[in-house]
Amino acid sequence: MNVLHVLFKVDGTEYAMPAADVVQMESFTGATPVPGAPAHVAGLVQVRGRVIPVVDARMRFGLPAGTPSLDSRVVVGQLGERTVGLLVDSAREVLKLDPRTIQPPPPMVVEGAKGFVKAVAQVGQRLVMLIDFPRVVGEETADVDGQR
Amino acid sequence: MSGTGEFAEFLPAYLAEVDELLASAQKDLLAVEEAVRKGLAQPRAVRELFRALHTLKGLSAMVDVEPVVSLAHWMEASLRLADQAGGRLPESSVEPLVEGLRAIEVRVRQLGAGKVASPAPANLLERLEALGPQVLDAAPKRARPVMLDAEAAFASRLAPSEREQLEGGLSGGQRALRLDFVPSSERAAKGLNINTVRERVAKLADIVKVLPLSGAAAGGASLAFALLLITRAEDAALLEAVGGPPAVVRSLEAPASAEPAAVDVAPGSAVLPASAVPPGAAGLEEELDEPEVRRGGGLLRVEVSRLDEAMEWLAALVVNRSRLTRAVAALTQAGAPTRELTAILQENGRQLRDLRSAILRLRMVRVGDVLERLPLLVRGLRRATGKAVRLELDVGDAELDKAVADRLLPALVHLVRNAVDHALELPEERQAAGKAPEGLVRLTCHARASGQLELTLRDDGRGVDAKAVAKAANAPVPDSVDALLDLLCRPGLSTRQEATRTSGRGMGMDIVRRIVVEQLGGELRMETRKGAGTTFTLSVPLTVTLMDAIVFECAGRRYAVAVGTVEELIDVGSVVRPAGADGLGLVERRGAAVPLVSLARLLDGAASADGDAGRGTKALIVRQRGEPVAFAVDRLLGQQEIVLRPLEDPLVRVPGVAGATDLGDGQPTLVLDLGALGAARAGRRKRAPSRSGEWVS
């Protein structure tokens, strides 16, 4: 059965996560930084009356910082009781991925992606990284020890 | 005339509510009477009385108790005028109002006893109707224009309603004053801080606003709180309440119109014989049956303020527990046998969590109970509009914080009213359009994850006509449903020329949006299809915490902090910066040195090279582990009530950040707990070489 996925781009690479885990997508107009939060947390945004943390995908993936643009999107995901946003460079596509095209990631990708990529899907000529959303978001709590 | 039969099921709720309204109305009327006898205005009691009667009228209209509606109507009308005249009533008006209230009570008791309410006495109605003109005659506005001393009253920081309240108090013969309270550690030790001062002053005066001031204040201190008051109390009593000098009292009345205040007596009142006023309370008991004792079936009505109080004590307990935890940790580290202590502490923590959720549950009310008035409302609308309407409620057993429910109900009433009045067509129109003659309004709700309640109100009416709305708003036709909703929510928008009896002139969508989005921090959405109907979806948080906060700016961002935690606001004048302290400063406060921390650096987290950046010109003094610490900020922006939204996600649950709030710009603003923030950062630097180093971030 084909599963609907939301596709987004970070630093030129395409990523995807199941649409069922995505609540909505919002354009990004800046986040309120939270002092002491883990470094990959861009800050807080207000989405339809709720205040949610936003994880900066570039920071998380160890990529050079980007400049927010009109294309920047916050992919708002549901993680059990938690609602967390993921800041990405752009997100335009929703695709049905055929499970048969989804393969475990090559070892090199696994290593480079710190476990954030759990599979790779082939869409025509393109390779799409399926992210492990819970791991990307992380559960790191307040950084009390000062190691930012 | 009715109140029986078809309304029987609504009657208990109606009676309970009316009972409360009558009780408060009687209390307020007595206060008004006393003020009237002294020739004074009593704006607050007049306004409360007006509100009580207004609500009473509305409720009675729903259950179709015509006699009470007419009585309440004329009383309300005159009180509205009195309210506009600064809360002043002529003496002659008291007796008819007392009689009117009594007549209402008699009829409510009749309903309670299963009887039919008797018609309102015609001559009483006439006398009540005649009150309006009398009130206008007595209105002091023309007699005594008042002016506020703009500088003393901080005119630029006053909301129009606050200004009105002050001027109303002045024109009503009271004194409008500014009382400056200067906090100090000595006063704090005697239990005098801004919160206790508020309480003490509130007993003597109506507090219109409290403003934190920085800059030179009386007595050489550099901070004060200015309390703007309406009062009849003596200066001495007020000064006493705030601990005497260096507090000062000054009049807010502009010198131009200054004249002895108490001499002013309403022109209308002198004409009437004083004997016309009966001795209030005693007269009210006559003719009334013994009030029926209602058993609550195990239910208890509790004032919300008492629940809030319990919550505050709990918060104190939680703070204390974390101190205990730290103390035990220190003991453990020192090698003391603390195993049992630690176990007790853990259990204590669980108990506190349970206690907290139990107290929060106390504040929850069933959504179904909140909405029980809506069927009545729809009944009334059906009669008033001649439309056939069916209201379906599907609310399950969802629960909602009382504070949210109270704010939400008016929004729902507006939406239901609009649905019946504007959206649904007349039966003939509906049939012509191939619809059932009876319109359907359906309200559903369900609790979502993450502490939100979603309410959906759907009608099967004509849908919102975007072109008509655009025309009424004098704007281009909106291209999306969100834009259409924006237009609908413009203040004062109406697609009708004439005011209708039920909805008035406007559609009140601006009020709905303000309640849902601004007051509750929720969300309002709309879907509409021409000819098929409109659906409004409201998402609101299940609970809200309201608090007074000081809003300030630091390093280009706004922050809020609870007023109660701030001991003092000071100007950062001369700062001593000991060598090697790396940015830590000391300021002098009444002979004692207080450490000064740059909040910008604290928040930034990284030791910035330019030590002078963001040093700040103002500072908030907060107790951190019992010791005063000054946090330097760039600019104070004022004080306001905010909705505190706690940050639940582990990613952003950090010490020192109590939560976030929306100051109206749609961006979250952090609500800081400065004491905890400073302490958390200090803890990070435990191994720093010098004590002063702990302020460095």
Sheet holding A50-56, edge to edge: A22-27, A73-79, A82-88, A50-56, A41-47
User: Chain B: nearest CA to A3, how far in angstroms?
Assistant: 24
pLDDT at B663: 81
pLDDT at A6: 95
In this structure, chain A runs to a length of 148
Distance of alpha carbon B633 from the chain centroid: 28
* CB neighbour list of residue B555: distance below 8 Å, 6 or more residues apart: B599, B600, B603, B604, B614, B634
Nearest to B667 among A36, A46, A139 (CB): A46
Please check whether residue A55 lies inside any domain of the structure. yes
Pair of tokens at residue A2: 């084909």
DSSP B38-89: TT---HHHHHHHHHHHHHHHHHHHHTT-HHHHHHHHHHHHHHHHHHHTTS--
Distance CA B304, CA B310 (A): 10
- Residue from B543, B553, B652 to probe the interface with A (highest A Cβ count within 10 Å): B652
- Residue from B649, B670, B671, B672 to probe the interface with A (highest A Cβ count within 10 Å): B649
In this structure, chain B runs to a length of 697
Query: B651: which chain A residues are within 8 Å (Cβ-Cβ)?
Result: 37-38, 41, 53, 55, 84, 137-141
How far is the first Cα of chain B from the last one, in angstroms, to the nearest whole number? 75
pLDDT at B550: 92
Query: Cβ of B452 under 8 Å from any chain A Cβ?
Result: yes
C-beta of residue B42 within 8 angstroms of C-beta of residue B156: no
ipTM: 0.89
Query: pTM of the prediction?
Result: 0.48
The per-residue pLDDT for range B343-392, each reduced to its tens digit, is: 998 898 888 878 877 887 888 888 888 887 788 788 888 888 888 999 99
- Residue from B514, B524, B602, B651 to probe the interface with A (highest A Cβ count within 10 Å): B651
Distance CA B51, CA B21 (A): 9
Nearest to A34 among B521, B652, B662 (CB): B652
Third-level CATH fold of B545-695: SH3 type barrels. (2.30.30)
Query: Cβ of B480 under 8 Å from any chain A Cβ?
Result: no
Whole-angstrom CA distances from B391 to B375, B438, B457 are: 7, 10, 10
pLDDT at A31: 94
Distance CA B27, CA B19 (A): 12
pLDDT at B551: 93
The ranges of chain B with pLDDT < 50 are 1-4, 141-144, 217-219, 257-296, 497-505, 607-614, 685-697
C-beta of residue B656 within 8 angstroms of C-beta of residue B680: yes
- Tell me whether residue B364 is exposed, middle or buried, using C-beta atoms within 10 angstroms of its C-beta: 0 to 12, 13 to 18, 19 or more: middle
Please check whether residue A142 lies inside any domain of the structure. no
Collapsing DSSP states into helix, strand and coil, what is residue B513? helix
Nearest to B657 among A34, A45, A146 (CB): A34
A→B interface, C-beta within 8 Å: 29-30, 32-38, 41, 44-46, 48-53, 55, 78, 81-84, 137-146, 148
Region B5-141: CATH code: 1.20.120.160
Distance CA A84, CA B292 (A): 54
Residue B269, CB half-sphere, CA atoms under 13 Å: how many? 22
Total domains present in chain A: 1
- Does residue A141 have a pLDDT over 60? no
Query: B449: which chain A residues are within 8 Å (Cβ-Cβ)?
Result: 78, 81, 83
C-beta of residue A148 within 8 angstroms of C-beta of residue B605: yes
User: Which option is the CATH number for B155-252: 3.40.50, 3.30.1370, 3.30.70, 3.30.1490?
Assistant: 3.30.70
Query: Cβ of B684 under 8 Å from any chain A Cβ?
Result: yes
User: Chain A: nearest CA to B523, how far in angstroms?
Assistant: 5
Collapsing DSSP states into helix, strand and coil, what is residue B668? strand
Partner-chain contact B603 A35, CB within 8 Å: yes
C-beta of residue B444 within 8 angstroms of C-beta of residue B453: no
The per-residue pLDDT for range B407-462, each reduced to its tens digit, is: 888 899 989 998 998 899 999 999 999 999 999 999 999 887 667 889 999 999 99
Partner-chain contact A142 B452, CB within 8 Å: no
Partner-chain contact A46 B603, CB within 8 Å: no
Angle at which helix B122-129 crosses helix B94-112, to 10 degrees, equals: 140
Q: Is A140 left (phi over 0), alpha (psi -120 to 50) or beta?
A: beta
Among B37, B140, B41, B50, which residue's Cα sits nearest to residue B97?
B50
Collapsing DSSP states into helix, strand and coil, what is residue B524? strand
Pair of tokens at residue B262: 């108490």
Strand pairing category for A3-10 and B657-662: unpaired
pLDDT at B471: 86
Whole-angstrom CA distances from B223 to A70, B201, B217, B570 are: 45, 19, 6, 5
Angle among Cα A101, A105, A106 to the nearest 5 degrees reads: 115
Helices (H), B139-193: 160-171, 185-189
Element (H, E) at B425: none
Q: Is B192 left (phi over 0), alpha (psi -120 to 50) or beta?
A: beta
Nearest to B653 among A32, A142, A145 (CB): A142
Distance CA B207, CA B210 (A): 7
Distance CA B57, CA B657 (A): 46
Distance CA B183, CA B569 (A): 9
Angle at which helix B11-37 crosses helix B43-62, to 10 degrees, equals: 160
Query: B653: which chain A residues are within 8 Å (Cβ-Cβ)?
Result: 141-142
Range of the domain at A63: 3-137
pLDDT at A112: 67
CA nearest B525 in A: which residue?
A48
C-beta of residue A51 within 8 angstroms of C-beta of residue A38: no
Nearest to B683 among A33, A51, A144 (CB): A144
What stretches of B411-514 adopt beta strand conformation (E)? 439-448, 452-459
Question: Which CATH number covers residue A49?
Answer: 2.40.50.180
Partner-chain contact B654 A51, CB within 8 Å: no
User: Chain B: nearest CA to A147, how far in angstroms?
Assistant: 10
Collapsing DSSP states into helix, strand and coil, what is residue B6? helix
User: Chain B: nearest CA to A25, how far in angstroms?
Assistant: 16
Query: A38: which chain B residues are within 8 Å (Cβ-Cβ)?
Result: 651
pLDDT at A28: 92
Same fold, B155-252 and B365-541: no
Nearest to A32 among B452, B668, B683 (CB): B668
Distance CA B364, CA B506 (A): 32
The CATH-assigned architecture of domain B365-541 is: 2-Layer Sandwich (3.30)
CA nearest B669 in A: which residue?
A32
pLDDT at B630: 92
Chain A with chain B: Cβ pairs closer than 8 A: 103
- Residue from A23, A26, A34, A145 to probe the interface with B (highest B Cβ count within 10 Å): A34
C-beta of residue B396 within 8 angstroms of C-beta of residue B469: no
User: Chain B: nearest CA to A144, how far in angstroms?
Assistant: 6
Collapsing DSSP states into helix, strand and coil, what is residue B316? helix
Distance CA B617, CA B641 (A): 24
Partner-chain contact A81 B521, CB within 8 Å: no
Please check whether residue A118 lies inside any domain of the structure. yes
Query: Cβ of B322 under 8 Å from any chain A Cβ?
Result: no
Please check whether residue A115 lies inside any domain of the structure. yes
Q: Facing residues of B246 across strands?
A: none
Question: Using alpha carbons only, how large is chain B's radius of gyration in Å?
Answer: 29
Please check whether residue A125 lies inside any domain of the structure. yes
Task: Tell me the domain boundaries of chain B.
Answer: 5-141, 155-252, 305-362, 365-541, 545-695
Please check whether residue A31 lies inside any domain of the structure. yes
- Give buried/exposed letters for B322-360 (b at 16+ CB in 10 A, else e): eeeeeebeeeeeeeeebeeeeeebeeeeeeeeeeeeeee
